[in-house]
């Protein structure tokens, strides 16, 4: 075009505006809450920051954190995976059942099975277009029935020579290996999320599925990936759990489902999708793990523990939820 | 003429953006006011303030000479002000009757209890008033788009009965999504209301403004720059007032620059049909060719494009791109093959809400600027996106602004940028790309598309108006009832008249 | 509120707070704490082993000198982990109810896992079924409601039931359903049975008192309470009342106060050196506590006991921690 | 009008046909769950011949009564597009309140009807808190109600006296004990509530607006309607009915129990979805949800009748839920449909 206008009023500012800076501030609230909590507990009970205590905390928090990180991925796309705790539980059961067949490879096989299962359920949800809430509620029911059936509803000792379980149950530099496993998982997933198209597409799906679809995002495949990832993480969490207990049980991960949802939200990930991330999962997982023991740390009477946990969780969510990015809150 | 409403020095700022400044406007009974202006010039904001949806930051409004504050839409309704939105504002899972009375009290729902039959009767009366035959018991989402638009109209026009004084009716780009018949119906209603009401009518189609309004107000950057009777205006002068420069007349492209007769067509479609609409269609597009598709609603032009993009169910037929047969089972497969699609409904299908411009633009082809096409390179993406933002003249504070904060026309440019960013795009399908764009922005857009086509991009283009098709296309195909009914090659001097085209369409 | 557990604290891990059984268990432990002038710390797992582990971790974090722990590990799966966690903190531990067949105090962290104690589920089931057999005159059909299947008391009690039925061939088992120890589930199950079996159903065996209450409530809906005998186990107040009123046939008295007192006292004894785990016999490290059948004839005695539970003191128990032992847990009991 | 005819229309690709067929399809669709119910009844009758007896049907009615009440309340929240997970906690708190305020064997209270009112009031208060946290403090309902679930359990465990409080109040016990035509009052209370709330949903402004919020919340806000009030009202209804369910369950058990609601939440959510009250909001209603609840009870009862063990039952009911939801949505499958 010959008579093109000077683009003076249309130049692009490179400097971040006020809104961006405020958003950055908002994103750091969960971390601030975590630091505040840890600081408080250190004041109340100075021993909590001793190496031994921290190691205990890491080994207790690792399964939950892994579960939270896994659950974050489907939630980023706006779906939800309610089957994570069920998968974590059945992992232990499968370990016992399959050990005679696969020997030292059992853990790998179990994780692969979980990933396959997750991919299948993601596919079921996306391809058949069944809401994830109800899909995973259904599979949760089936998984718990199956693990009860397979284990005959009993706790069984793990095969004691499993190399991966032994590795997970061990420590390096006096720090539980499950902690390192969680870190490695975060690192791998972070690279995938940041440097491949998967991460970008996941967020796009959460921000606006139709638009993402019409921009060439493969939604069915991506959902399968998201649920496969969360199932894989859940299986890893299950392995971390049994590496501590050394026994499998069909109800091993019990109420970790609810805690993992709390964890996802506490990290600042929006349940409606599109907002949040792995880092949020890590922080949310740590906050939740801390909340779980906070009642004991601050000496709440046993009858008050539920209430205090509930109220603390609500306050934490109130502080960490970024409402500016969510138009309508359901 | 009695003066109904007056705004005095009304202004509105959103954060640091000034959307509207010192607006003085008078609305009088018996007058249709045409409101025009570039994208982002503040038309919608002004209408929303009058309609009670937005609170002004400064200034005051006088209704019948008395100052008023409108706190919400229903508040405005109670004062006899109704607004037809461009995006429909009906509640899909309620009945037609409920929607009509959503923002108004009615005896049939006094004390919070519904007397359904009375409510249906009251709604039927409203629908009868504007000669619409729709069952008030129907659920809105079961209605066709056109019917919904009529319900929307009925809902707004029902304010007439609410007040004793003449109502004020606001239309924000109502025609951009209507068919000719529907537009005719709308204009008939406007003619009917003209005597008893004050009307504000916003459109980017200058012809419509000149046709229906008595007075035209032109806005630029939130300010009123002209306020004149339409008799003193013509298309050219209005355009100049709006855009601030001369209108570029289509420069007929030299025939010899068109590689139209090259051996392998860019796109070669045989026997394409969808379960719903398109009868088997066969056509070819040459590299660098701009093909205009014309047709009334349900002519199948849109389905054809969406089928090419893999967005329709039950698609049959063969599609060849550059001579190679491709299977377009999903939009992702289409993108993979190098086909892009600019959707008509950008709010749902085009934009990632809540995301920045860069994120929106880099979504599909950002990876092409990464390392080995596998690893994301954010810096490179940002640079390319910024280039396109400048090139498309997107009016924005920053490339990192959220797309939601842009005006509609600018949003459209960003969505287009997402496709143009690509280095390997073969074919771009434009589905009503100028919808909501001001004439100046439309010319910018056309210029960009022409220059991309000159570099070899093939374009299929479904236009808002026949004028646009004639403006941009090398070749025009008219579709009717899912099949092609006529073809004109504009570059061969085979230019049809608008009458010819309309005849082929209906 | 105190944070670091003071020297000599007693810690107990219970499954839930809103339960008569666990309240009485806590009471027994509180008695001992009072007699020692020690602090009692209660953690609640809500039946979640991972929760228990994390909370114990938090308590042990600050170090705990001469502390003692008595806990239900919440399920077999967590026994080893809980014992190990306690051993790492050098806190002697006594477990109750849950122990996998394969591990024992003397072979797993033997220095700190002082003992395991439980009630004999086989015996309990056996007593109940015998009473049913007798009440039905040796002829009839009964149905059984089982607890959470992965817990030893659940399968032990059903095993006891089957053992008794083998000796009472006229009575047959119509059906078995899992009621997860829950009153409401048992009520639904019993209601379904009443509809399905009608007059064929002559008695209901419930593996605990809560489920027996649910069964009685279901019978009451059809005015069948007192007509179809119901048995339970635990000896809860409501069950005793129902035995007295005739709604229940028998319950088995497991004294949670005693259990709480004995379990924490043994752990404390090991913590302060009053006993040396290494010198204890297997029968002292893995034993059942006594239990008794309650029927209409002796229910008043137990109601009296309920109203005025004896106050245990450490000094008193120290004389013989195993006074109320019913013997070593036999091999295979936790299979 | 030449220039106007020169415009070409734009439409979103998929358009309903708007005709009679659409109504018919919608109507048939709403009958789907009912068809599932009938099929299940027939299957179980064929498998076990005494399934459709008066006694067993009455047993199903008794078991379904409380789930129906719960799904009725939950439906209001789900219609908003939100979710209420707090019911198990609410029932625990209301059960404890009831059994400690009405005549019982633990303390000297005998508030009678006021005790019932107080217990229901507890449910109402929970609903109010949920609604306020969700709408005023703008916290997602999923997490708010997860928090109040814990708080409800906590209140129950704080209230719990040293022993299970047995209810002695004849009024309370009478609710479960009094039978008409072989069915306890609980069943009739459930039917009454179902009818009442169905009418509320369809014949009142509040009900219709709760329905509308799930369809187009932004539009209602823009219109200037008091949307937060509607949402709070929906949560209050849900809490209220959970409170009533707590009372009825306690009446049936004859005592106060902190675990009284255990395991009722997820079936209730499934029931809503099975019946056609979709989690995305704005679809379905209390009658549909109630059918879903009855389907689940029939399934459960039938599986017990044919002797399926508890584990197999878990597997089968999970599979049935998936199958039914998948089958009922199959005709809606589209390339561009968004389901989360
Ligand atoms: N809620 C808002 N937040 C931030 N900026 C806004 C908001 N609403 C409007 N604006 C800005 O105010 C200006 C005027 O917008 P408005 O929608 O009134 O323009 P318009 O004349 O209707 O444009 P179009 O022709 O595209 O419809 C634009 O720059 C727009 O980005
Ligand atoms: N709540 C809001 N928050 C932020 N921005 C908003 C909000 N509401 C409207 N806007 C912005 O106001 C501007 C005008 O919105 P409007 O809906 O009028 O679109 P428009 O500019 O008229 O476009 P179109 O031509 O598609 O109608 C847009 O930039 C829109 O993003
Ligand atoms: Mg506008
Ligand atoms: Mg616009």
User: Measuring CA to CA, which residue among A155, A318, A314, A171 is closest to residue A248?
Assistant: A155
User: Which residues on adjacent β-strands are paired with residue B228?
Assistant: B216
- Report pLDDT digits (tens) over B231-248: 888 888 888 887 765 555
CA D279 to centroid of ligand 2, rounded, Å: 28
Q: Is D216 on the interface with B (CB under 8 A)?
A: yes
Angle at B193 between CA B188 and CA B194, to 5 degrees: 95
**Ligand number nearest to the C-alpha of B36:** 1
pLDDT of residue D29: 66
- Report pLDDT digits (tens) over D95-109: 999 999 998 888 888
| Residue of D48, D95, D254 to mutate for C, most C C-beta atoms under 10 A | D254
- Residues 173 to 232 of A: which have CB under 8 A from any B CB? 194-197, 199-201, 203-204, 207-208, 210-218
Give chain C positions within 8 Å (CB) of D255: 183, 213, 238
- Report pLDDT digits (tens) over B65-102: 889 998 888 888 889 898 887 666 889 899 999 999 99
Q: Which atom of ligand 1 is nearest to the CA of B219?
A: 21
Please state, rounded to an integer, the average pLDDT across all residues of chain C.
Answer: 89
Q: What's the structural domain count of chain D?
A: 1
Please state, rounded to an integer, the average pLDDT across all residues of chain A.
Answer: 85
Q: Do D223 and B311 touch (CB under 8 A)?
A: no
Max CA pair span of chain C: 61
**Residue D93's closest chain C neighbor by CA?**
C18
Q: How far apart are CA A43 and CA D109, in angstroms?
A: 44
Task: Name the 3-class secondary structure at C36.
Answer: helix
Please state, rounded to an integer, the average pLDDT across all residues of chain B.
Answer: 84
Alpha-helix residue ranges (DSSP H) falling in B227-311: 235-243, 301-308
Per-residue CA distances from B154 to B98, B169, B192, D139 (Å):
12, 12, 13, 37
| Cα separation of the two ends of chain A | 48
User: Measuring CA to CA, which residue among D129, D149, C314, C106 is closest to residue A309?
Assistant: D149
Q: How many other CB atoms sit within 10 Å of the CB of residue D147?
A: 29
- Report pLDDT digits (tens) over C94-127: 999 989 888 999 998 999 999 999 999 999 999 9
Assign D19 a pLDDT band (cuts: 50, 70, 90): low
Retrieve residue C93's tokens.
């531990």
Q: How far apart are CA A29 and CA A266, in angstroms?
A: 10
CA C273 to chain centre: 27
| pLDDT above 70 as % of chain D | 91
Phi, psi of A154 (to 5 degrees): -120, 160
- Report pLDDT digits (tens) over A137-166: 999 999 999 998 998 888 888 887 788 888
pLDDT of residue D206: 95
Chains C and D touch (3+ CB pairs under 8 A): yes
For chain B, the helix, strand and coil percentages under 3-state DSSP, each to the nearest 5: 40, 25, 35
**Ligand number nearest to the C-alpha of B43:** 1
Give the contacts of C173 (CB within 8 A, at least 6 positions apart).
C141, C142, C143, C144, C161, C162, C165
Task: Name the 3-class secondary structure at D178.
Answer: coil
Give chain B positions within 8 Å (CB) of D225: 74, 102-103
Global ipTM: 0.87
Interval B316-333 mean pLDDT: 89
Is residue A40 scored above 50 in pLDDT?
A: yes
pLDDT of residue D156: 93
CA B340 to centroid of ligand 2, rounded, Å: 25
pLDDT of residue D278: 85
Retrieve residue B254's tokens.
């030299």
Is residue C240 scored above 50 in pLDDT?
A: yes
Assign D28 a pLDDT band (cuts: 50, 70, 90): low
Q: Do A330 and D140 touch (CB under 8 A)?
A: yes
Containing H/E element for B258?
A: none
- For ligand 1, residues with CB inside 6 Å are B 14, 17, 19, 37, 39-45, 405-409, 436, 438
Q: Which of A8-12, A236-240, C310-314 has the weakest average pLDDT?
A: A8-12
- Report pLDDT digits (tens) over B394-404: 888 888 888 88
Q: How far apart are CA C290 and CA C287, in angstroms?
A: 10
DSSP per-residue letters across C195-215: HHHGGG--EEEESSHHHHHHH
Retrieve residue C47's tokens.
């039946």
Phi, psi of D53 (to 5 degrees): -90, 160
Residue A283 DSSP code: H
Give the contacts of B476 (CB within 8 A, at least 6 positions apart).
B291, B292, B293, B294, B469, B470, B487, B488, B490, B496, B501
- For ligand 2, residues with CB inside 6 Å are B 44, 86, 173, 404-408, 436
pLDDT of residue D17: 52
Task: Name the 3-class secondary structure at B226.
Answer: strand
DSSP per-residue letters across B403-469: GGGS-HHHHHHHHHHHHHT-SS--EEEEESTTTT--HHHHHHHHHHHHHHHHTT-EEEEE-SBHHHH
User: Measuring CA to CA, which residue among A129, A96, A127, A125 is closest to residue A110?
Assistant: A96
CA A196 to chain centre: 20
pLDDT of residue B256: 37
Give chain B positions within 8 Å (CB) of D21: none
Is residue D9 scored above 50 in pLDDT?
A: no
- Report pLDDT digits (tens) over D150-209: 999 999 999 988 888 888 888 888 888 888 888 889 999 999 999 999 999 999 999 999
Is residue A12 scored above 50 in pLDDT?
A: no
Q: Which of A223-237, C315-329, D25-39, D217-231 has the weakest average pLDDT?
A: D25-39
Interval D44-70 mean pLDDT: 88
- Report pLDDT digits (tens) over D67-85: 999 999 999 999 999 999 9
pLDDT of residue D230: 95
- Report pLDDT digits (tens) over A117-142: 999 999 999 998 888 989 999 999 99
The answer to whether the beta carbons of residues D234 and D209 sit under 8 Å apart is no
Ramachandran region, residue B172 (left: φ > 0; alpha: ψ -120 to 50; beta: rest): beta
Q: Which atom of ligand 2 is nearest to the CA of B436?
A: 25
Burial environment of residue B371 by CB neighbours within 10 A (0 to 12, 13 to 18, 19 or more): exposed
Q: Do D11 and B297 touch (CB under 8 A)?
A: yes
Is residue A8 scored above 50 in pLDDT?
A: no
The answer to whether the beta carbons of residues B353 and B404 sit under 8 Å apart is yes
Give chain B positions within 8 Å (CB) of D216: 89-93
Interval D50-77 mean pLDDT: 91
User: Which stretch, A294-303, C191-200, D230-239, has highest mean pLDDT?
Assistant: D230-239
Radius of gyration of chain B (CA): 24
Is residue D11 scored above 60 in pLDDT?
A: no
Rounded (10°) angle between helices D185-203 and D205-223: 40
Residue D308 DSSP code: -
Q: How many CB pairs under 8 A join A and D?
A: 174
In which domain, by residue range, is D127 found? Answer: 2-336
Instruction: Decide the pairing of beta strands B458-462 and B427-431.
Output: parallel
The answer to whether the beta carbons of residues C39 and C66 sit under 8 Å apart is no
Containing H/E element for A196?
A: none
Q: How far apart are CA D44 and CA C76, in angstroms?
A: 37
Assign D297 a pLDDT band (cuts: 50, 70, 90): very high
Global pTM?
0.89
Distance from the A274 Cα atom to the nearest Cα atom in chain C, whole angstroms? 31
DSSP per-residue letters across D98-120: HHHHSSBSSSS---THHHHHHHH
Interval D303-311 mean pLDDT: 83
pLDDT of residue D5: 31
CA B501 to centroid of ligand 4, rounded, Å: 28
Give the contacts of B407 (CB within 8 A, at least 6 positions apart).
B39, B40, B44, B395
pLDDT of residue A20: 64
Is residue C314 scored above 70 in pLDDT?
A: yes
Most informative mutation of B39, B349, B405 for ligand 2 (most atoms within 8 A of CB): B405
Which tops the pLDDT comparison, A12 or D147?
D147
Is residue A4 scored above 50 in pLDDT?
A: no
Assign A304 a pLDDT band (cuts: 50, 70, 90): confident
Angle at D82 between CA D81 and CA D87, to 5 degrees: 135
The answer to whether the beta carbons of residues A217 and A205 sit under 8 Å apart is yes
Q: How far apart are CA B335 and CA C31, in angstroms?
A: 75
Q: Which atom of ligand 2 is nearest to the CA of B48?
A: 18
Write the residue in B16, B354, B399 that is nearest to A274 by C-beta: B354
Retrieve residue D237's tokens.
């209804």
Assign D310 a pLDDT band (cuts: 50, 70, 90): confident
pLDDT of residue B465: 76
**Residue A323's closest chain D neighbor by CA?**
D138
Instruction: Decide the pairing of beta strands B223-229 and B58-63.
Output: unpaired
Assign D4 a pLDDT band (cuts: 50, 70, 90): very low
The answer to whether the beta carbons of residues D90 and D126 sit under 8 Å apart is yes
CA pseudo-torsion sign C41, C47, C51, C57: positive
User: Which stretch, B253-262, B484-493, C213-222, D199-208, has highest mean pLDDT?
Assistant: D199-208
Containing H/E element for B312?
A: none
Assign B502 a pLDDT band (cuts: 50, 70, 90): confident
Residue D46 sits in a domain whose CATH number is 1.10.3470
Phi, psi of C141 (to 5 degrees): -130, 135
CA pseudo-torsion sign A38, A44, A47, A53: negative
CA B431 to centroid of ligand 3, rounded, Å: 20
Q: How far apart are CA A223 and CA A215, in angstroms?
A: 16
The answer to whether the beta carbons of residues B337 and B328 sit under 8 Å apart is yes
Is residue D13 scored above 50 in pLDDT?
A: no
User: Which residues on adjacent β-strands are paired with residue B489?
Assistant: B475
Is residue C280 scored above 60 in pLDDT?
A: yes
| Residue of B102, B275, B344 to mutate for D, most D C-beta atoms under 10 A | B102
Give the contacts of B391 (CB within 8 A, at least 6 positions apart).
B448
Retrieve residue B487's tokens.
């073809």
Most informative mutation of B13, B20, B39, B44 for ligand 2 (most atoms within 8 A of CB): B44
Q: What is the four-CA torsion angle of A123, A124, A129, A132, rounded to 10 degrees?
A: -90
């Amino acid at each position: 075009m010959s008579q093109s206008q000077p683009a003076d009023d249309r130049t692009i500012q490179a400097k971040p505006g006020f809104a961006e800076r405020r958003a950055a501030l908002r994103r750091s609230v969960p971390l601030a809450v975590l630091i505040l909590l840890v600081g408080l507990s250190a004041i109340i009970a100075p021993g909590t920051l001793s190496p031994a205590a921290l190691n205990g905390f890491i080994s207790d928090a690792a399964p939950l954190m892994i579960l939270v990180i896994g659950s974050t991925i489907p939630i980023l796309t706006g779906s939800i995976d309610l089957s994570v705790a069920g998968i974590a539980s059945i992992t232990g059961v499968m370990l016992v059942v399959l050990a005679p067949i696969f020997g030292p490879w059992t853990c790998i096989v179990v994780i692969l099975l979980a990933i396959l299962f997750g991919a299948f359920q993601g596919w079921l949800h996306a391809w058949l277009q069944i809401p994830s809430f109800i899909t995973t509620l259904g599979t949760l029911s089936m998984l718990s029935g199956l693990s009860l059936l397979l284990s005959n509803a009993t706790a069984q000792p793990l095969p004691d020579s499993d190399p991966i379980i032994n590795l997970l149950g061990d420590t390096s530099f006096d720090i539980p290996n499950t902690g390192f496993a969680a870190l490695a998982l975060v690192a791998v997933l972070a690279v995938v999320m940041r440097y491949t198209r998967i991460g970008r597409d996941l967020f796009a799906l959460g921000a606006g599925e139709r638009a993402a679809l019409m921009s060439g995002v493969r939604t069915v495949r991506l959902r399968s990936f998201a649920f496969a990832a969360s199932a894989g993480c859940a299986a890893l969490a299950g392995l971390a759990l049994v590496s501590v207990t050394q026994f499998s049980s069909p109800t091993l991960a019990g109420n970790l489902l609810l805690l993992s949802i709390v964890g996802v939200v506490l990290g600042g990930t929006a349940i409606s999708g599109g907002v949040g991330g792995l880092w949020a999962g890590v922080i949310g997982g740590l906050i939740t793990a801390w909340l779980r023991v906070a009642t004991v740390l601050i000496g709440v009477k046993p009858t008050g523990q539920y209430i205090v946990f509930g109220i603390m969780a609500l306050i934490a969510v109130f502080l960490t939820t970024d409402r500016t990015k969510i138009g309508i809150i359901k | 003429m009695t003066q109904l409403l007056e705004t005095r020095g009304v202004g509105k700022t959103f954060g640091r953006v000034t959307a509207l400044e010192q607006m003085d406007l008078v609305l009088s009974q018996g007058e249709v006011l045409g409101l025009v202006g570039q994208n982002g010039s503040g038309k919608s904001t002004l209408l929303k303030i009058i309609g009670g949806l937005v609170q002004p930051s400064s200034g005051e409004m006088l209704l019948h000479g008395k100052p008023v504050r409108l706190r919400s839409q229903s508040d405005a309704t109670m004062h006899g002000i109704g607004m037809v939105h461009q995006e429909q504002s009906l509640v899909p899972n309620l009945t037609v009757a409920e929607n009509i009375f959503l923002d108004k009290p009615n005896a049939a729902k006094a004390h919070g209890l519904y007397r359904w039959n009375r409510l249906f009767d009251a709604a039927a009366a409203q629908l009868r008033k504007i000669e619409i035959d729709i069952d008030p018991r129907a659920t809105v989402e079961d209605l066709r788009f056109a019917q919904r638009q009529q319900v929307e109209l009925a809902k707004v026009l029902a304010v007439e009965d609410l007040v004793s004084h003449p109502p004020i009716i606001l239309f924000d780009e109502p025609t951009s999504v209507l068919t000719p018949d529907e537009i005719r119906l709308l204009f008939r209603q406007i003619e009917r209301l003209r005597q008893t009401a004050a009307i504000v009518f916003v459109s980017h189609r200058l012809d419509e403004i000149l046709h229906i309004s008595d007075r035209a107000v032109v806005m630029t950057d939130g300010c009123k720059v002209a306020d004149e009777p339409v008799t003193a205006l013509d298309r050219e002068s209005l355009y100049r007032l709006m855009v601030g420069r001369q209108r570029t007349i289509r420069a007929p492209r030299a025939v010899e620059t068109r590689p139209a007769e090259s051996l392998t067509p860019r796109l070669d479609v045989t026997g394409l049909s969808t379960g719903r609409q398109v009868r088997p269609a066969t056509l070819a597009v040459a590299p660098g060719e701009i093909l205009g598709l014309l047709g009334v609603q349900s002519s199948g032009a849109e389905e054809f494009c969406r089928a090419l993009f893999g967005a329709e169910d039950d698609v049959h037929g063969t599609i060849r791109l550059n001579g190679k047969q491709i299977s377009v089972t999903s939009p992702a497969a289409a993108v993979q093959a190098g086909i892009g699609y600019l959707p008509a409904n950008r709010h749902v299908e085009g934009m990632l809400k809540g995301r920045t411009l860069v994120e929106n633009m880099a979504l599909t082809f950002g990876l092409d600027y990464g390392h080995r096409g596998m690893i994301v390179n954010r810096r490179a993406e940002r640079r390319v996106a910024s280039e396109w933002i400048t090139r498309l003249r997107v009016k924005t504070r920053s490339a990192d602004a959220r797309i939601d904060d842009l005006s509609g026309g600018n949003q459209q440019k960003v969505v287009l940028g997402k496709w143009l960013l690509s280095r390997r795009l073969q074919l771009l399908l434009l589905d009503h790309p100028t919808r909501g764009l001001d004439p100046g922005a439309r010319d910018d857009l056309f210029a960009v598309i022409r220059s991309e086509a000159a570099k070899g991009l093939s374009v299929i283009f479904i236009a808002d108006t026949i004028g646009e098709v004639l403006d941009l296309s090398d070749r025009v195909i008219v579709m009717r009832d899912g099949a092609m009914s006529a073809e004109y090659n504009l570059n061969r001097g085979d230019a049809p008249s608008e009458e010819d085209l309309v005849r082929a369409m209906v | 509120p105190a944070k670091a557990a003071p020297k000599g604290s007693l810690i107990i891990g219970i499954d839930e707070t809103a339960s008569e059984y666990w309240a009485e268990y806590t009471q027994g432990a509180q008695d001992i704490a009072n007699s020692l002038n020690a602090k009692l710390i209660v953690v609640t797992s809500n039946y979640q082993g991972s929760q228990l582990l994390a909370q114990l971790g938090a308590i042990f974090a600050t170090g705990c000198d001469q502390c003692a722990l008595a806990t239900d590990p919440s399920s077999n799966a967590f026994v080893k982990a809980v014992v190990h966690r306690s051993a790492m903190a050098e806190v002697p531990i006594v477990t109750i109810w849950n122990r996998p067949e394969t591990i024992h105090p003397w072979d797993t962290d033997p220095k700190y896992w002082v003992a395991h104690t439980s009630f004999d589920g086989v015996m309990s089931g056996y007593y109940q079924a015998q009473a049913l057999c007798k009440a039905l005159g040796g002829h009839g059909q009964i149905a059984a409601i089982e607890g959470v299947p992965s817990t030893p008391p659940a399968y032990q009690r059903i095993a006891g039931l089957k053992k008794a039925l083998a000796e009472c061939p006229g009575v047959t088992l119509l059906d078995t359903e899992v009621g997860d120890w829950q009153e409401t589930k048992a009520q639904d199950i019993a209601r379904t049975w009443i509809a399905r079996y009608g007059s064929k159903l002559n008695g209901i065996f419930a593996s605990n008192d809560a489920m027996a209450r649910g069964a009685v409530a279901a019978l009451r809906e059809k005015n069948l309470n007192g007509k179809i005998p119901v048995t339970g186990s635990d000896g809860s107040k409501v069950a005793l009342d129902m035995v007295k009123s005739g709604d229940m046939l028998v319950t088995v008295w497991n004294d949670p106060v005693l259990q709480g007192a004995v379990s924490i006292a043994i752990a404390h004894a090991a913590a302060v050196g009053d006993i040396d785990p290494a010198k204890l016999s297997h029968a002292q490290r893995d034993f059942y506590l006594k239990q008794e059948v309650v029927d209409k004839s002796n229910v008043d005695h137990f109601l009296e006991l309920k109203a005025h539970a004896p106050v245990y003191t450490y000094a008193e128990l120290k004389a013989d921690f195993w006074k109320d032992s019913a013997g070593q847990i036999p091999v295979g009991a936790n299979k | 009008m030449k220039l106007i005819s020169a415009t070409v229309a734009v439409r979103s690709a998929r358009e309903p046909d708007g005709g009679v067929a659409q109504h018919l399809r919608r109507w048939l669709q709403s009958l789907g769950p009912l068809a599932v119910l009938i099929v299940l009844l027939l299957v179980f009758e064929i498998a076990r011949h005494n399934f459709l007896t008066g006694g067993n049907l009455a047993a199903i009615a008794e078991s379904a009564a409380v789930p129906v009440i719960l799904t009725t309340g939950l439906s209001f929240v789900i219609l908003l597009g939100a979710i209420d997970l707090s019911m198990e906690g609410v029932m625990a708190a209301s059960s404890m309140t009831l059994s400690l305020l009405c005549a019982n064997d633990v303390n000297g209270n005998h508030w009678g009807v006021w005790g019932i009112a107080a217990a229901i009031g507890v449910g109402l208060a929970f609903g109010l808190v949920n609604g306020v946290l969700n709408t005023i403090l703008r916290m997602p309902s999923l997490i708010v109600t997860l928090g109040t679930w814990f708080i409800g359990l906590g209140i129950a465990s704080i209230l719990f006296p040293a022993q299970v409080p047995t209810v002695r109040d004849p009024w309370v016990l009478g609710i479960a004990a009094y039978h008409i035509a072989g069915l306890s009052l609980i069943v009739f209370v459930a039917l009454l509530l179902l009818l009442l709330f169905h009418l509320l949903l369809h014949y009142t402004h509040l009900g219709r607006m709760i329905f509308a919020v799930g369809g187009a919340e932004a539009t209602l806000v823009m219109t200037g309607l008091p949307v937060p009030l509607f949402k709070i009202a929906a949560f209050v209804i849900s809490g209220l009915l959970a409170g009533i369910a707590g009372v009825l369950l306690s009446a049936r058990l004859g005592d106060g129990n902190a675990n009284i609601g255990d395991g009722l939440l997820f079936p209730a959510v499934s029931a809503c979805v099975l019946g056609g009250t979709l989690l995305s909001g704005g679809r379905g209603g209390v009658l549909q949800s109630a059918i879903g609840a009855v389907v689940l009870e029939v399934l459960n009862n039938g599986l017990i009748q044919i002797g399926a063990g508890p584990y197999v039952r878990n597997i089968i009911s999970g599979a049935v839920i998936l199958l039914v939801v998948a089958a009922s949505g199959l005709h809606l499958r589209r390339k561009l449909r968004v389901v989360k």
